[in-house]
Structure 1
Amino acid sequence: MTHQEGHVRPQIGMLPSLQILRFIAAFSVVLYHAGSGLAVEYGGINNPFFFGTMGVDIFFILSGFIISYSTDASRGIGHFLHRRFARVVPLYWLLTLAIILVALIKPNMLNSTVVTVETVVKSFLFIPFPKPNGTLQPLLFLGWTLCYEIFFYCLYALCMLWRGKADILCPLILVALVTMHEIWPHGSMLWHFYFNPVLIEFALGIALCQIYRRSAFFQAGSDAIAVLLVGAACLLYWLVSNLPVHQVVAPSIFSTLVVSGFLFWRSPKGAIASLLVMLGNASYSLYLIHPYFIQAAIKIFGKMMGTVALTAAVAVTVALTILLSVLIFRLIEKPLQKVVLKIGKTPMTKPEMGTATGI
C-alpha cells in the first residue's frame, strides 16, 4: 500500500486517533451507567448521558475495521484466533472468576447474579443466558458484547478458509444472518441474540477498512474532514433521536461516521493526546470493571448523601476507576496477554490499539 508523498501516516497499530476513540467510546459507556444509576436513585429522572450506549456501537465498528486491517491471512486461522483470544479472554475470565467469588461470598452485593454450574460454564464459553432481571448476559454482565466479538472472530476465521476472501464473505454472511433474523423473528433467545442487527456493525467496519486501504486521500488525512464527519454524526443523532428509526439505523450510521472522522484525523500531538492514548490502552479494562464500582458507590453513599453530594461521589468514583483501569492494564491485562501469546509462541507487536477488539 502506498501513500502520497509528504502525507505518510503511521501503520494502524500506531494510529493514536483510534486509541483516543477507544477511550472516548469506553468513557461514554461509563457515563451512561453512571447516569442510569443516579437516575434510578433520584427517582426515575431521565439519564442525561443516554447517548453513552453509542460507545458499544463504535467498539463494534472498530472491531470490524481493525480485524480486517491487521489480519495476516498467510499466518493461518490458528494464529489469528490465538491472538484474538489472547487479547480478550484472559482478563474476561479473571474478572468472571472474581464475580463468581463475590456472588458466593456476598450474594447480596450483586443484584441479578445466580451462580450455578450452567451459568459458570456458559459464561466462560461466552454464551449468554437469561438472568432474573430478564436480560440475556453472562455473569460478567458487560460480557454480552464480548459474546458478539467472539462470534465475529469465529465467523471471520471460518471465512479465512477461502484465502483472500474473508473480507468479502464475512460481511455477506453477517448481512445474511441479520436478514434471516428479520424474516424469521420466531426463533429462540439465542437466535435473537446472535443474529441481532448489531452484527451489521462488524460488516460496516470491514467495509470501512476496505475503503480506507484503497484511498490515498483517506490515508493522507484531513483534520477539517474529521471535524465535518464527527459533526455530521452528532447532527444526525440529534435529528433522528425521537424517530422510530433511531434504535435501528442511527447508531450504526453515527458510529461509522465517527470512526471515519477519527481515521481522517492527522496524528494528534501534545500531552493531552498522549494521556488519552494511554487511557485508550486501558479502555478494555475500564469497560469491564466500571459498572461494579459505580453501583457500589451508589449503594454505599445513596442513603447518606443528598443529590449533589452523591453525584460528586459518583464522579470521584469514575475518576478513580479510570486510574484503576490503567493499573489493571499495566499490571494484569498486558502481562496476561504476553503469557498467553508466549504459550503459542506468537510474538506481540507494538501497542495493539485493539488489534483484537475495538474494546
Structure 2
Amino acid sequence: MASVATGKYELIQVLRFIAALGVVVCHSAFYSKERLAPDTLSYNLGANGVPLFFVISGFVMMIAAQKLQGVDGAWKLFSIRRIVRIAPLYWFATTIKLLTLLGAAGLVLHAQVDWAYIVKSYFFVPAVNVDGEIRPLLAVGWTLLFEMFFYAIFTLSLLVRIDAIRFTAPLLVGLAIASIFKTDSWHTALAFYADPIVLNFLWGMITARLLQRGILMGRNSAIAVVMISLCYLFFPRFPEYGNSITYGIASFLAVYGCASLETSRRLSVSRWLVFLGAASYSIYLFHPLTAPLSPVLFKRVGLIYPLLSVLGSIAIAIGVGAFMYRFVESPLTEMLNRYVKQYFNGSAGVKKQVKGFE
C-alpha cells in the first residue's frame, strides 16, 4: 500500500494530463472554427476532461488530508495550502487576460471591461459575463469556482472534525438534486453550484476511501476498466451519448482503476507523461491565452487548414504550459510553501503533519 502511504500516484498524474489534453483539443477545435474555418469539426468530448479533473481532485484531497484528521489547526493548513496551490497562478493568468483586454481589446473575444465583474473573477465569486454565462474573466476558471467551493466545505469538515465524506456528501448530493428544480430566478451562486458535476468530487473521495481500506480492483479488471472508461470519455462516436452522471461514473472508474494498479504493484511510468501531468494546471490555465494564436496566424498568411491549425494550437498550449510550470508555477509554489511551513512550524499540533501534506 505504498502509494496510499506516500500519496504519490504517477498514473493519476498521467490522467491529469489526459484530462487537460482533452480540454485543450476541444478548445483548439473551437478556436479554429471561430477564427479560421467555420466548418472545423468540433470535439465536444474533450470537455469530459473536467469531470475527470474533479474526480482526481476529490481523490487527491482525501489522500493528502488523511494525516490531518483530528489535528488542531489542520483546517488552516489545508485551506492555506489550497489557496497557495490554486490562486497565485490563476491570478497571474487572469491579469494577463485583463491587460490584453485593456491594451488590445480586439484580440479578446467574449469579454468586456466591467470592474465589479472583474473583481468577482479574481475572488472566485460566480458572476455573469458579457455572453450571459456564469464565467469569470478567464473563462476556463469556471472550474476553479467549483474547486474552491469544494475546498471550502472540505476545510469545514476538518474544522468541525467530521469525516470528510459524511460532511460533504449530503451537501453535494443535495446540490445535484436541486439542479433538477433550477430556474432563471435563482441567485447566481446557487444556480451555478446546483449542478450534478459536483458529484465528481464525491466519487473521487469515495475512490480514496476504498483504497485506504484496501479494496482494490484486480490487475486485469483495472486495465480493462481504465481503457473502456477513457474510450467512453474521449473517443468520438456518433451519436454522442452520455450525460454528467455517466461521464462522472466513467471518470470515477478510470481513477479507481489507475489507483488500484499503482497501489497493488510497482509500475514504470514515462517521466515525460508524469511531468506533463504535473504541468496540467498550467496547461489548462494558459491555453486560452496562447492556443488561439495558431488559427490567427494561419488566417493571416492565408492558409485555411483547420487540422493544422488545431494541431498548432495543441502544440502551443502544451509548450507554453510546460514552460509556465517549469519556470513560474513550480518555483512560485515552492517559495510560497516554504513560507507556509515556516508559519506552521510554530504550531505543535500541525508541525508534524506539514512535511507530508501536499
TM-score (norm 1): 0.85
Counterpart residue number, 1:274: 271
Give 1:335's aligned amino acid: P
Q: Using the TM superposition, give the Cα deviation of residue 187 of structure 1 relative to its aligned residue in structure 2, in angstroms.
A: 1.5
Counterpart residue number, 2:15: 21
Kept in 2, the 8 Å contact 1:286–1:325? The answer is yes
Q: % of aligned pairs identical?
A: 26
Partners of 1:143 and 1:169 lie apart in 2 by: 26
Counterpart residue number, 1:58: 52
Partners of 2:26 and 2:318 lie apart in 1 by: 15
Kept in 1, the 8 Å contact 2:17–2:280? The answer is yes
Counterpart residue number, 2:337: 341
Whether 1:46 and 2:44 are equivalent positions in the alignment is no
The range that moved more, 183-192 or 250-259, is 183-192
SS of residue matched to 1:136: coil
Give 2:228's aligned amino acid: A
Whether 1:105 and 2:131 are equivalent positions in the alignment is no
Partners of 2:166 and 2:288 lie apart in 1 by: 37
Whether 1:252 and 2:232 are equivalent positions in the alignment is no
Q: Using the TM superposition, give the Cα deviation of residue 126 of structure 1 relative to its aligned residue in structure 2, in angstroms.
A: 0.6
The range that moved more, 187-196 or 63-72, is 187-196
Of 295, 298, 303 in structure 2, the residue corresponding to residue 301 of structure 1 is 298
Indicate how the Cα distance of structure 1 residues 107 and 261 shifts in structure 2: closer, same or farther if over 3 A, else same: same
Partners of 1:50 and 1:268 lie apart in 2 by: 32
Partners of 2:154 and 2:245 lie apart in 1 by: 23
Give 1:329's aligned amino acid: Y
Partners of 1:102 and 1:324 lie apart in 2 by: 17
Q: Using the TM superposition, give the Cα deviation of residue 24 of structure 1 relative to its aligned residue in structure 2, in angstroms.
A: 0.9
Kept in 2, the 8 Å contact 1:181–1:191? The answer is no
Within 5 Å, which residues of 2 pair with 1:179-218?
A: 179-185=177-183, 186-215=185-214, 217-218=216-217
Partners of 1:86 and 1:114 lie apart in 2 by: 28
> For the aligned residues, what is the CA RMSD?
2.6
Q: Using the TM superposition, give the Cα deviation of residue 29 of structure 1 relative to its aligned residue in structure 2, in angstroms.
A: 0.7
Indicate how the Cα distance of structure 1 residues 227 and 307 shifts in structure 2: closer, same or farther if over 3 A, else same: farther
Counterpart residue number, 2:285: 288
SS of residue matched to 1:187: coil
Give 2:131's aligned amino acid: N
Partners of 2:198 and 2:4 lie apart in 1 by: 29
Whether 1:91 and 2:89 are equivalent positions in the alignment is yes
Give 2:127's aligned amino acid: F
Indicate how the Cα distance of structure 1 residues 111 and 298 shifts in structure 2: closer, same or farther if over 3 A, else same: same
Give 2:152's aligned amino acid: C
Q: Once the two structures are superposed, what CA deviation does each residue of 1:186-218 show, in whole Å capped at 9, x if it has no partner?
A: 513322211211111111111111111112545
Indicate how the Cα distance of structure 1 residues 217 and 204 shifts in structure 2: closer, same or farther if over 3 A, else same: closer
The range that moved more, 177-186 or 60-69, is 177-186
Q: Using the TM superposition, give the Cα deviation of residue 234 of structure 1 relative to its aligned residue in structure 2, in angstroms.
A: 4.8
Partners of 2:6 and 2:228 lie apart in 1 by: 24
Kept in 1, the 8 Å contact 2:294–2:312? The answer is no
Give 1:339's aligned amino acid: M
Give 1:152's aligned amino acid: F
Within 5 Å, which residues of 2 pair with 1:200-239?
A: 200-215=199-214, 217-218=216-217, 222=219, 224-234=220-230
Partners of 1:100 and 1:317 lie apart in 2 by: 21
Q: Once the two structures are superposed, what CA deviation does each residue of 1:279-332 show, in whole Å capped at 9, x if it has no partner?
A: 111110000011222212212322534343x53244234223312222211211
Indicate how the Cα distance of structure 1 residues 326 and 234 shifts in structure 2: closer, same or farther if over 3 A, else same: closer
Say how many residue pairs are matched. 338
Of 50, 58, 64 in structure 2, the residue corresponding to residue 70 of structure 1 is 64
Q: Using the TM superposition, give the Cα deviation of residue 257 of structure 1 relative to its aligned residue in structure 2, in angstroms.
A: 1.4
Counterpart residue number, 2:350: none
TM-score (norm 2): 0.86
Give 1:180's aligned amino acid: A
Indicate how the Cα distance of structure 1 residues 343 and 156 shifts in structure 2: closer, same or farther if over 3 A, else same: same
The runs of 5 or more residues in structure 2 that have no matched partner are: 346-353
Indicate how the Cα distance of structure 1 residues 335 and 182 shifts in structure 2: closer, same or farther if over 3 A, else same: same
Kept in 2, the 8 Å contact 1:225–1:264? The answer is no
Partners of 1:123 and 1:307 lie apart in 2 by: 35
Indicate how the Cα distance of structure 1 residues 239 and 343 shifts in structure 2: closer, same or farther if over 3 A, else same: closer
Partners of 2:138 and 2:232 lie apart in 1 by: 33
Partners of 2:176 and 2:337 lie apart in 1 by: 33
Q: Using the TM superposition, give the Cα deviation of residue 15 of structure 1 relative to its aligned residue in structure 2, in angstroms.
A: 1.4
The runs of 5 or more residues in structure 1 that have no matched partner are: none
Give 2:16's aligned amino acid: R
